[in-house]
Amino acid sequence: MLDQMSEHEKTVAATYCNYNGLKDTQSIANICQQANDISYVELDVNTWGSKEEKLGYTIVDEIDSELKATLEQYTIGDNLTTYDYFDFEKYGQDLSMNNGYFATDNLFIFHHTDINPKLYTIQELKEHLNDPRLNET
């Protein structure tokens, strides 16, 4: 299964498993099978601010273009908009309290991620992979 995953998918799946205490083979394989269904935001650890501020900024700047457009629409003075005054840290704090959790300092996973660590049996996982090596003893 790992051979069929990108490095990024492996990182997200491993982070999800580690944070949620999943250690058995079936659960880990199920998470790997559903890795593309994990809803997350990756934060740049090298940028300014707290992780909550990074989360708020990332959501507004890269994901919620409607909110960003609204904030940029209203001007304050000659060169500033409400976007320049927006409290990204408070917004990120509210997001983290209500919508998900920080699995690491740079990976925020949303609660609405609908992943079931027992979705498939081991036999079903083998069938999904269709890898002849799994039939070897």
Kindly report, residue by residue over 43-90, the tens digit of the pLDDT.
Answer: 998 888 999 999 999 999 999 999 999 999 999 988 899 999 999 999
pLDDT at 45: 85
CB 39 within 8 A of CB 115: no
Q: How confident is the model over 93-100, as a mean pLDDT?
A: 95
Mark whether 118 and 100 lie in a shared domain: no
Cα 76 to Cα 84: distance, rounded to the nearest angstrom: 9
Same structural domain for residues 56 and 81? yes
Tell whether 66 and 92 lie within a shared domain: yes
pLDDT of residue 114: 83
Q: Are residues 50 and 101 in the same domain?
A: yes
CB 120 within 8 A of CB 30: yes
Q: What is the mean pLDDT of the chain?
A: 92
Structural domain that includes position 8? 1-38+113-137
What length does the chain have?
Answer: 137
Q: Is the pLDDT of residue 134 over 80?
A: no
Kindly tell me if the per-residue pLDDT of 137 is higher than 80. Answer: no
Mean pLDDT, residues 35-42: 94
With cut-offs at 50, 70 and 90, classify the pLDDT of residue 112. confident
Residue-level pLDDT at 136? 63
Q: Is the pLDDT of residue 98 over 80?
A: yes
**Rounded Cα gap, residues 58 and 48, in angstroms:** 12
Q: What is the pLDDT of residue 130?
A: 77
Task: Please indicate, yes or no, whether residues 88 and 69 belong to a single structural domain of this protein.
Answer: yes
Shared domain for 65 and 98, answered yes or no, is yes
Examine the domain organization and report whether 117 and 101 are in the same domain.
no
Q: What predicted TM-score, i.e. pTM, was given to this entire model?
A: 0.82
